[in-house]
């Protein structure tokens, strides 16, 4: 399982990567916004995308839309981890096809729960 | 525009000077000066009016009052929240470290003591009764290590999570920088009015996203999810 972690703050990427490692996901790569993430996704081999929303260049929402619009990537599970907490935005992300939505600050237990839920659905 | 008048007076002045007519040339010089002054006063009057109009327009268009009334107090609250968040993260980290250090110290001491005894056992220097006691101590140490290390493990995760403040406060500070930038642009506009020929700084691309919720500021309208549970409820109401 190869996971791409996208966030413009390197501290947050490190936190997410460490938490994923604790959960048994050791194969992770990073990108600092949608623009740098998309080519990595298109290059193939990535199974799961964890992305922030508010990033310069290309936001996580635009990245999500680009993923859903690409036939090769359309079915990729996407978990959004963001400080954006307005109801309107959560609905927007849901409509764009996000698989899970976590608001910052979050806990390790929340991350585990959402990831478990996403994979339960995929496996089920 | 008034060249003809000037030229006319100048020609008369040349004639008067050639004829050594001092009285006439003095009078002509006075006329010239008067003409020149009235032009100058007209110009000053025009500039004054222009300055006045610009000042009035500037006061009407200016974002300065909005910045002063709303954005600056708002920015102050945001910065206060940054202090609160960084303080929380520092305390959280320090508390965990203070809990973990004694556990790690105790395990280190025990491991050292047991290692010495174990060496004696390997060197066949240990009577049977003492070995029986040692095997009990070893079992105890294994249990204590397992328990202690699991506490350390979860403490490390807690320290890891505490670092999330950097992302949140970074986003909040970026918003305050935007306010400072707006203020700077308004100030540059004001300075330009006073005659300095400096073009205003270019605004950075504004990100319209609201960003992290600062309690007491961003949650007044009740349109935000205050916790992960709120998010989950909202998503499940949408069929997630």
What are the tens digits of pLDDT across the range A33-42?
999 999 999 9
Instruction: Tell me whether residue A49 is exposed, middle or buried, using C-beta atoms within 10 angstroms of its C-beta: 0 to 12, 13 to 18, 19 or more.
Output: buried
Residue A85 in contact with partner chain B when CB distance is under 8 A: yes
Q: What are phi and psi of B217, to 5 degrees?
A: -115, -55
Mutate to test the interface with A, among B209, B218, B223 (most CBs of A within 10 A): B209
Burial letters A13-43, b for 16+ CB under 10 A, else e: bbbbbbbbebeebeebebbbbbebbbebbee
Coil/strand/helix, residue A59:
coil
Integer Cα distance of B230 and B224 in angstroms: 9
Structure tokens at B221: 């309208």
Residues of B in contact with A12 (CB under 8 A): 164, 166-167
Structure tokens at B152: 């350390």
Integer Cα distance of A86 and B223 in angstroms: 6
**pLDDT exceeds cutoff 60 at B200:** no
Residue A35 in contact with partner chain B when CB distance is under 8 A: no
Q: What is the mean pLDDT of residues B14-35?
A: 88
Residue A2 vs residues A9, A21, A41, B146: alpha-carbon distances, Å? 21, 12, 11, 31
pLDDT of residue B88: 92
pLDDT of residue A67: 98
**DSSP code of A104?**
S
Q: Catalogue the long-range contacts made by B143-152 (C-beta closer than 8 Å, 24 or more residues apart).
A: B144/B106, B144/B107, B144/B110, B145/B107, B145/B111, B148/B103, B148/B104, B148/B106, B148/B107, B149/B107, B151/B99, B151/B100, B151/B103, B152/B100, B152/B103, B152/B104
Q: How confident is the model at residue B141 (pLDDT cuts 50, 70, 90)?
A: very high
Nearest CA in chain B to A110: B228
Q: How many other β-carbons are positioned within 10 Å of the β-carbon of residue B193?
A: 13
Going by C-alpha positions, the residue among B166, B147, B148, B154 that lies closest to residue B96 is B154
Residue A87 in contact with partner chain B when CB distance is under 8 A: yes
Angle subtended at Cα B129 by Cα B128 and Cα B130, rounded to the nearest 5 degrees: 90
pLDDT of residue B21: 87
Residue A82 vs residues A46, B50, B88, B167: alpha-carbon distances, Å? 21, 51, 20, 10
Q: Catalogue the long-range contacts made by B1-7 (C-beta closer than 8 Å, 24 or more residues apart).
A: B2/B35, B2/B39, B5/B35, B6/B32, B6/B35
Q: How many other β-carbons are positioned within 10 Å of the β-carbon of residue B72?
A: 15
Integer Cα distance of B128 and B139 in angstroms: 17
pLDDT of residue B62: 65
Structure tokens at B134: 């040692």
- Contact flag B160-A15 (C-beta cutoff 8 Å): yes
- Contact flag B163-A84 (C-beta cutoff 8 Å): no
Share above pLDDT 90 across residues of chain B, in percent, rounded to a whole number: 47
Highest mean pLDDT among A50-54, B49-53, B63-67, B223-227: A50-54
B127 dihedral zone (left: phi>0; alpha: psi -120 to 50; beta): beta
**pLDDT exceeds cutoff 80 at B196:** no
Considering only CB atoms, A11 lies closest to which of B163, B213, B234, namely B163
pLDDT of residue B61: 64
Structure tokens at B215: 């309690």
Q: What is the mean pLDDT of residues B104-111?
A: 95
Structure tokens at B131: 């070995």
Residues of A in contact with B225 (CB under 8 A): 85-87, 90, 103
Integer Cα distance of A29 and A21 in angstroms: 12
pLDDT of residue A31: 97
DSSP B70-111: IIHHHHHHHHHHHHHHHHHHHHHHHHHHHHHHHHHHHHHHHH
Q: How confident is the model at residue B69 (pLDDT cuts 50, 70, 90)?
A: confident
pLDDT of residue B186: 80
pLDDT of residue A8: 94
Mean pLDDT estimate for chain B: 87
Q: How many other β-carbons are positioned within 10 Å of the β-carbon of residue B20?
A: 8
Residues of A in contact with B209 (CB under 8 A): 53-54, 59, 84, 89
Residue A11 in contact with partner chain B when CB distance is under 8 A: yes
Residues of B in contact with A88 (CB under 8 A): 223
Residues of A in contact with B212 (CB under 8 A): 83, 85, 104
């Amino acid at each position: 399982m190869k996971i791409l972690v996208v966030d413009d703050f390197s501290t947050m990427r490190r936190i997410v990567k460490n938490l994923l490692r604790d959960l048994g996901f050791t194969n992770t790569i990073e990108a600092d916004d949608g623009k740098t993430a998309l080519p990595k996704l298109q290059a193939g081999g990535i199974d799961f995308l964890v992305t922030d929303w508010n990033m310069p260049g290309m936001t996580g929402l635009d990245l999500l839309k680009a993923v859903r619009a690409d036939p090769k990537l359309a079915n990729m599970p996407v978990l959004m981890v963001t400080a954006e907490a307005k109801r309107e935005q959560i609905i927007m992300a849901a409509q764009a096809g996000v698989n899970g939505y976590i608001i910052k600050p979050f806990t390790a237990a929340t991350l585990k729960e959402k990831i478990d839920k996403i994979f339960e659905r995929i496996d089920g | 525009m008034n060249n003809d008048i000037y030229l006319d007076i100048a020609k008369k002045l040349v004639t008067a000077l050639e004829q050594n007519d001092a009285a006439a040339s003095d009078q002509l010089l006075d006329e010239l000066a008067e003409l020149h002054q009235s032009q100058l006063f007209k110009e000053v009057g025009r500039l004054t009016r222009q300055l006045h109009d610009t000042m009035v327009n500037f006061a009407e268009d200016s974002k300065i009052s909005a910045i002063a009334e709303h954005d600056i107090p708002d920015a102050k609250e945001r910065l206060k929240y940054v202090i609160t968040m960084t303080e929380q993260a520092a305390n959280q980290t320090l508390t965990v470290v203070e809990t973990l250090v004694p556990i790690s110290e105790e395990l280190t001491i025990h491991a050292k003591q047991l290692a010495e005894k174990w060496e004696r056992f390997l060197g066949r220097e240990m009577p049977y009764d003492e070995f029986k006691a040692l095997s009990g101590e070893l079992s105890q140490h294994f249990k204590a290590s397992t328990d202690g290390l699991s506490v350390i493990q979860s403490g490390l995760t807690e320290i890891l999570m505490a670092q999330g403040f950097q992302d949140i406060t970074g986003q909040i500070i970026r918003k305050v920088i935007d306010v400072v930038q707006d203020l700077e642009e308004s100030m540059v506009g004001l300075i330009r009015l006073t005659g300095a020929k400096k073009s205003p700084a270019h605004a950075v691309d504004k990100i319209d996203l609201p960003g992290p919720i600062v309690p007491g500021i961003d949650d007044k309208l009740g349109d935000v999810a205050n916790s992960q549970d709120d998010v989950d409820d909202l998503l499940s109401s949408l069929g997630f």
